[in-house]
Every structure is written in structure tokens, then in C-alpha cells.
Structure 1
Amino acid sequence: MAGFRIGRGRDNNRGPQQPPRQQPYGQQHPQAPYGGQPYPQAAPPPQQTWQQHAGGHGEPEYFDPHAHPGPGGPGGGPAYGYQPGPGPAPGAAYANNPGHTQAFSVGEDPYNQGAVYQAGGPAAPPAGPRLGWKDLLRGIVTQPGHTFLRMRDHAVWAPALIVTFLYGMLAVFGFDKAREDAINATLSSAVPIVLSTGVAFVICGLILGAVTHTLARQLGGDGTWQPTVGLSMLIMSLTDAPRLLFAMFLGGDHTLVQALGWLTWLAAGFLFTTLIAKSHDLPWPKALGASAIQLIALLSLIKLGML
């Protein structure tokens, strides 16, 4: 009778018996089959970490920097009971990956990881401290390219202003009429003339240097204005020194003085072109074009005696 009650009853018309649905781990079936024994409770799996992969839904997302994907796991993850091997140091190979962060120091820009390449970017200046005024003046004459490249980021206001002011005071004696006026005038009248001429040459050098720098930037240069203006003032003064030395004794109309004037003017053109090419990273045709106005002004005002 017990077998009859088990095999027959109102549930006998349900058709073929369906296999029971498997419940998740750790949960008990809400109700045992009718007349049967309850399903045994599955043992909880050992603790492990799962990674959510593409196509998986509903699983929690954990991130383990030491986890390695094992064969046979659901969704391509580690299989049941898979023991991961030793991985790399935490944060070494997982920085900037989903779920991981990268540490930055205080004041560091995380979006600027190195210098950005720019077409025609300037070459890095040679390593070393800035040149002293003696080495600077000597380098302009002996090694202009190396000197201009090394000083492209350093202002040279002190040497430029002092040398240009001294050159302007001596330039009075390089012109015949100005020299006669200064010699025939009294001391109280000659001193203001000499000082005012020195100041006028400083202002002239500043204006011409600023014009050269502006033209260089318009042609695509990327140099700074302080080194460009200061070095251009030094070039203007140093290149005209040989002509001025002979003009003080021979006069500005002497043949030797005129020849020195043209030679030193060509030397000034070479130095101006080298300066703009090194400090603004421009090819020599553009560098020469940027310094053309300053060269024409020096030729007409100083070399030809029209000042």
C-alpha cells in the first residue's frame, strides 16, 4: 500500500517527470519533491575571485591583479578550484586598465607624459650653465653658432646695455661733423652730447632688435624676445667696432674705413642670420629675411654715415 500511495495519486497525471532545477550554491531547494527526500545541500565552493568578462551578466565585478584566467571557467574566467600562479607586482602591469588606477606624485600632470613632438621643434640647447660676459663676447666672434644656441634661453641685458652704451658714446667720434662738434664744444656741452648719443644707440638697438624678433616670429620662429633683442644689440655693436676704431682717427670718408664698413656689415648679416636660425629654429633664408630690416637700417644709418 505504501508503494501504491507513492506511485499513484493526483500528481500521477503530470506527464513525464521533469528533472529538478539546480539551485545556486548555498541555497536550499524551497520544497522537496512530493513524496521524496529533500535534495542534498551543495557544499559551498572554496573562496575565489571571479572576473566579469564580455557576455557575462549578473556576476559581481571583482579585480584581482594576481588572477590569471584558467581553463574551463564560466565566461572565460578561472575554473572552479583553479589556483592562480604568482603574478607580477601589483600595479606594475595593470596601471590604466579598467578597475585599476595609477599613482601620480603631487604636482605631476597625468595628461602630459613627456614632451609633445612638434614639427620643426627647436633642438635642445647644449647642457651647461650660461656663459659669462667674457665668454659671451668671445664666443660671438669665435663660435657664434654654439654661443647663440647655448644662450637662446638666457637674457643678456647687462652685457648688451653696457656694450651698446659704450659703443654709442664712442660712435660720436666716428662721424666727422659730430666729432668736430664734440671737440670744439666745452666740457659741459660735450658730456651731454656723448651721453645722449650713447642712450640713442641703446634705444635704436632695442627697437631694431624688437623688429627682428617680431619678423622671426611671424615667419614661424619660436624663440623668446629677451635673448634675441640682447644678442642683436651685441652683434650691432661688436661688428662695427673695427670700422669705428679707424674712423675715429682717419674719418668716416676714408677708403679703408668704407671698406671696413662693408666687410663688417656682411659679417653682421652672417651673425644676425645665425642668431635667428639658432634661437628661432628657422632655415637661413627665413632668418636672413627676418634680420633684413635691421641690416638695412644699420647700413643706412651707421655704415654710410647718415645718422
Structure 2
Amino acid sequence: MAGFRSGRGRDSGSAQGRQYPQQQYPYGQQQPPYGQQPAPGAWPQAGQGQYPGPPQPPGGPGQPEYFGPPQGGDPYANNPGHTQSFSVQDPYGQGGYHDGPPEPPPGPRLSWKELLSGVVLRPNRTFWQMRDYPVWGPALLVTFLYGLLAVFGFDKAREDAINTTISSAIPYVLTTGIAMVIAGLLLGVVTHTLARQLGGVGSWAPTVGLSMLIMSLTDAPRLVFALFLGGDASLVQLLGWLTWIASGFLFTSMVSRSHDLPWLKALGASAIQLLALLFLIKLGTF
């Protein structure tokens, strides 16, 4: 019987710890004297009734078995009782089944200051972060204040408000502010309904609130110049068109992120609100 080398392939360092295999010879042959090599063919070969012994470690003679497999692959891989190592590719990394890293989840709710500045300076990030939070407070207040000043952005309405008494002008101005709030609510509901019809999944409260903020904030530059120059001035008309285009971009971005819609569908959902703002406010027919 063939023996095993002790110490997982290492010498024990002493002759006493070494165990030598018992050499067997064919019947009728004697063991050669001490110090002489056996004759060729004296050692038993595999397949002649003798157990050939365990395979040598993959690291080679004199190396422990836990050394890595030799070059060219693991000889034990995919054999019964053995497994083959494999690597797992990051699905969000380069070459995965995703185009790029996933977008971060919505963050904490923004304060009203961060919300107002974010709509103008960081619209994409702000709309994504606030897609699940209603913004009724800032939306109603900003739209109401915008409605109070919108009276003075139209020539005829401004003349009527200036030429009348204060007791008559205050209800007139307040009514205009309330009318702007109601108009913003209705237009936001229309935008949300169209987005849901096109496959959107957003909530109605964030959509309506953010649409009211977009409507009010984007028209602020035109309104400031209209207070002094009048609504029919060329600069005011130019600002009206430029701010209307900017509002279209913001509406599309907001609907796209709030409802997980592509840009074309998001633009289609915002089309009615954009046309209403153009004819009712931008062109001075309100």
C-alpha cells in the first residue's frame, strides 16, 4: 500500500518523523541490498492490482496543498466534489445590463427657501427630490402673491386699479389673486390627469403644487418689467416669450420626474397648461 507524505507536503525536519512507503516487488524477486537501486520495472505500475496512490498536490512536490492551482486551470474543477470559482459582474457597472448607475432615491423634504431656489437653479434635482412631497404652503402663497401683482402687469387692469379708490381697489386686487390661485389649481389638475392617462405614476398633490410654483416663478421677470413699462412694451413681450419657453422646459422636467415619463409624453401632458398660460397671461388676454 502506497503511503502519504506527512505534514501536508512538508518535511518534518527529522528522520524519525519520516515514513517511507513499503516497496513491493513481483513474486519471485528479492529486495536488492541496501544502497542499491531497484532494477527497472521492479516497481508496480498502476492497473496491475496495486493502488496507485493519491494524486500529487497541485502545487507540485514539496509545496502545501493549499497553494493555488497550476497555470492552465484547476484540474479538479467541475469534478464531483469540487466547485469552480466564478466572478459576478456588477449589474450597474460598466458592461452590465443597465445603461448606467441608478438614480438616487428621493432625499429629505426641502425647506421653502431651498424649494424656491431649487426650482430656478436646480430644477431636475429639486423635482426628483420633491416628487413625493406636497408643497401646498409655498405653492398657494407664491401664486396668491403673484396674482396680486399680476393686476399691475396689464395696462387696462392697472389703470382701473390706480384710478379707483383704495376701498374699491383692495377687493379688486384680492379677487385677482384668488382667481390666479384657482386657475393654477385647475391647470395643475389637468396636467396631472393627462400625465396619468399617458402612463404616469406620480401623485396629484406634488404635481399640482409644483406646477403652480413653475407658473408663478417663471413669469416673475416679465411681471417686474411690466409694472414699470406696461404689458405692451417690446421688452416685456420678448421676456414673455422667453419665460414661456423656460416654463415649458420646467413643466416637462417636473412631469417627467414626478410621473416617470419620457420627455415627449411629459411635454404632451403639459401642453394644455402651456397654451393656457400663453394666451391668458403671456399675451395679455387675461
TM-score (norm 1): 0.59
Cα distance in 2, alignment partners of residues 207 and 252 from structure 1: 25
Aligned to 1:129: 108
Q: Tell me, yes or no, if the aligned pair for 1:125 and 1:149 is still in contact at 8 Å.
A: no
What is the letter of the counterpart of residue 234 of structure 1? Answer: L
Aligned to 1:301: 280
Aligned to 2:224: 245
Aligned: 1:153 with 2:140? no
3-state SS in 2 of match to 1:220: coil
Q: Tell me, yes or no, if the aligned pair for 1:206 and 1:229 is still in contact at 8 Å.
A: yes
Aligned to 2:259: 280
Map residues 46-57 of structure 1 onto 2, 5 A cutoff. none
Deviation sequence 1:155-201 (CA, Å, 0-9, x none): 00000000000000000000000000000110100000000000000
Find the partner of 1:168 among 126, 147, 162: 147
Q: Tell me, yes or no, if the aligned pair for 2:106 and 2:130 is still in contact at 8 Å.
A: no
What is the letter of the counterpart of residue 116 of structure 2? Answer: L
Cα distance in 1, alignment partners of residues 161 and 186 from structure 2: 26
What is the letter of the counterpart of residue 262 of structure 2? Answer: P
Map residues 39-188 of structure 1 onto 2, 5 A cutoff. 126-188=105-167
Q: Tell me, yes or no, if the aligned pair for 2:118 and 2:126 is still in contact at 8 Å.
A: yes
How much has 1:128 moved relative to structure 2? 3.2
What is the letter of the counterpart of residue 225 of structure 1? Answer: W
How much has 1:127 moved relative to structure 2? 4.9
How much has 1:209 moved relative to structure 2? 0.1
Find the partner of 2:182 among 183, 203, 223: 203
> Structure 1: any 5+ residue segments left out of the alignment?
1-122
Aligned: 1:235 with 2:193? no
Q: Tell me, yes or no, if the aligned pair for 1:277 and 1:287 is still in contact at 8 Å.
A: yes
Cα distance in 1, alignment partners of residues 107 and 152 from structure 2: 40
RMSD over aligned Cα atoms? 1.0
3-state SS in 1 of match to 2:133: coil
How many residues are aligned here? 185
Find the partner of 2:191 among 200, 203, 212: 212
Find the partner of 2:269 among 290, 297, 302: 290
Q: Tell me, yes or no, if the aligned pair for 1:125 and 1:150 is still in contact at 8 Å.
A: no
Cα distance in 1, alignment partners of residues 107 and 265 from structure 2: 29
What is the letter of the counterpart of residue 292 of structure 1? Answer: A
Deviation sequence 1:191-250 (CA, Å, 0-9, x none): 000000000000000000000000000000000000000000000000000000000000
Cα distance in 1, alignment partners of residues 180 and 107 from structure 2: 32
How much has 1:124 moved relative to structure 2? 6.7
> Structure 2: any 5+ residue segments left out of the alignment?
1-101
What is the letter of the counterpart of residue 270 of structure 2? Answer: S
1:277 to 1:205, Cα distance in 2 relative to 1, 3 A: same
Aligned to 2:248: 269
Q: Percent identity?
A: 74
Q: Tell me, yes or no, if the aligned pair for 2:132 and 2:203 is still in contact at 8 Å.
A: yes
What is the letter of the counterpart of residue 205 of structure 1? Answer: G
Aligned to 2:234: 255
Cα distance in 2, alignment partners of residues 127 and 178 from structure 1: 43
How much has 1:129 moved relative to structure 2? 1.6
Cα distance in 2, alignment partners of residues 204 and 127 from structure 1: 29
Cα distance in 1, alignment partners of residues 226 and 154 from structure 2: 7
How much has 1:126 moved relative to structure 2? 3.3
3-state SS in 1 of match to 2:131: coil
Deviation sequence 1:261-282 (CA, Å, 0-9, x none): 0000000000000000000000
Aligned to 1:90: none
Deviation sequence 1:25-83 (CA, Å, 0-9, x none): xxxxxxxxxxxxxxxxxxxxxxxxxxxxxxxxxxxxxxxxxxxxxxxxxxxxxxxxxxx
Cα distance in 1, alignment partners of residues 257 and 146 from structure 2: 26
